[in-house]
Amino acid sequence: MPLLSEDGRKASADLLFVLRRKDAGAFLVLAAEYGRLFRWYFVRATMPEWTAEDLAVELMEDIVLFKIDRYHGDTDGFHAWVVTLMRHTATDWWRKQKGATFEPIPDTMATEVPAEAIPDVETVLAVRQALAQLGQADRRILELRHSAEERSLKEIAAVLQIPEGAARVRYHRAKKRLEELLKSDRRVAERIANKSAGGD
């Protein structure tokens, strides 16, 4: 069973046309067509959801800004090219993780992408922009906490060479600053409010 629907070839042709024209909405069009697949694949490759969403956005940005200029094939080969980029992205990411190995997901496991795998692209972008506004120390401790290794506060304290209590305070302070920035962003304000109401 192919990854694309029966109208997949036409969708690929339309998407390829938009990407090559460098239209302003190219990123959103690509996200609508492939964002769900990218995130699902990265999650199935045992990446944390935070990492999977971020990597999906980075790959889409890379395709729109750079890689599309290197694709000289036709519509029929476009989907296979995108899937190859997705697999290479996952493999390259895992190679950078110390002591980790990655087994590519067989084609037979990538035939259906569940609806819940749709990435919240706007939220990912908002988080990345908010992180960029934080100080280096705040970004560092958040990255340590939410990286692929998902370090405990004790492990973070060891990396930063500070007491565990200090690491806990720094982490919660950085997390609060990030949340304050996101609360003022309309793209995620409602999501944060719902999460707080649910007691998560």
pLDDT reading at 170 higher than 90: yes
Domain spans in the chain, listed from the N-terminal domain onward: 8-117, 121-197
Three-class SS state of 148: coil
Cα-based angle 106, 112, 113 (whole degrees, multiple of 5):
105
pTM: 0.53
Report the CATH number of the 121-197 domain.
1.10.10.10
Tens digits of residue pLDDT in 45-59: 778 777 888 888 889
- CB atoms under 10 Å from CB of 27, counted, come to 20
One-letter amino acid identity for 63?
I
Tokens of 147: 């990286």
Tens digits of residue pLDDT in 64-77: 989 998 898 888 78
Return d(Cα 40, Cα 114) in angstroms, integer.
Answer: 8
Architecture of the CATH domain 8-117: Orthogonal Bundle (1.10)
Tokens of 159: 């990396």
